[in-house]
Amino acid sequence: MGDADPMAGMLDDKTALISGCGAGIGRAVAHRFAREGATLWLNDLRADAYDAVLAEVRALGAAAEGSSGDMSDPAYARAWVDGAAAEHGRIDVLYNNVGVSRSGLLGDITDEDWRFVQATTLDSVFFATRAVLPHMVASGGGSIVSMSSGAGIGGHYNLGGYAAAKAAVINLMETVATEYGRHGIRANAVTPGPTETAPLVAYLETQPGGIAAHVADLDLARLSQPEEVAATVCWLASDLASNLTGICVRSNIRAASRLSK
């Protein structure tokens, strides 16, 4: 078989929505979906990042449209989803990637920081998921994949607001799986563990011991790569995972007993 990709064409003839596509894991997922044959409907808050990824996936041969906007705004999220359905007639995949963290001990988190993290990280997933459900029901099914985090499993020191939101994302996907499985809709979460994205690398390089100290007690003793996470997301989105729903794929995170300091 040579160098042929064994998963090529996994998303042929599927319309896939990706929020937060502008960098890191979201960008890697957009590229992977494009190579797997999906028709893409993209989003990012930053117009320049959205435009750049739109051009990149089109260069890979994908049909791609979408818009730049704030997924924590329920009106925008619904219009974004409804626009995809109107353009393509159906929605087969929704990948929720929007999220943000702000550090701080629970006793020090401000009201503004708490609401910002919950709105961006949890509300955005809920609004897009709620908007896509009737379209998937009408077309007989679909796959929803949402990005969680190792911080959402067992709690996380100094990231209480973010950890709470990411734990809720896992629960939300479990609830969708329970309520909508009979309609052919699958819903799953992914916790990729620390991943080599520009913001994380920049942050770790300012910390004592740098990247090496941070990865020492990860399961794989290294950072995950965005392309590795994208492969997992693509598999869950595809028909190869047709009987998997309500699960959280945990990869390369600290064991729960080591999450707190």
Whole-angstrom distance, CA of residue 116 vs CA of residue 97: 16
Helices of type H across 8-148: 24-35, 47-59, 74-88, 111-118, 124-139
Taken in order 120, 190, 31, 11, the sign of the CA dihedral is negative
Whole-angstrom distance, CA of residue 51 vs CA of residue 169: 27
Helices of type H across 119-194: 124-139, 160-180
For residue 15, what are its two tokens? 């319309």
Residue 157 annotated in active site: no
Active-site residue, from 50, 76, 95, 162: 162
Q: Are 196 and 256 in contact (CB under 8 A)?
A: no
**DSSP SS3 for 141:** coil
- Distance between first and last Cα of the chain: 48
Beta-carbon contacts of 147 under 8 Å, excluding residues fewer than 6 positions away, are 25, 95, 96, 97, 99, 169, 189, 190, 192, 233
For residue 115, what are its two tokens? 């609401």
Beta-carbon contacts of 78 under 8 Å, excluding residues fewer than 6 positions away, are 127, 131
Instruction: List, by residue number, the catalytic residues.
Output: 162
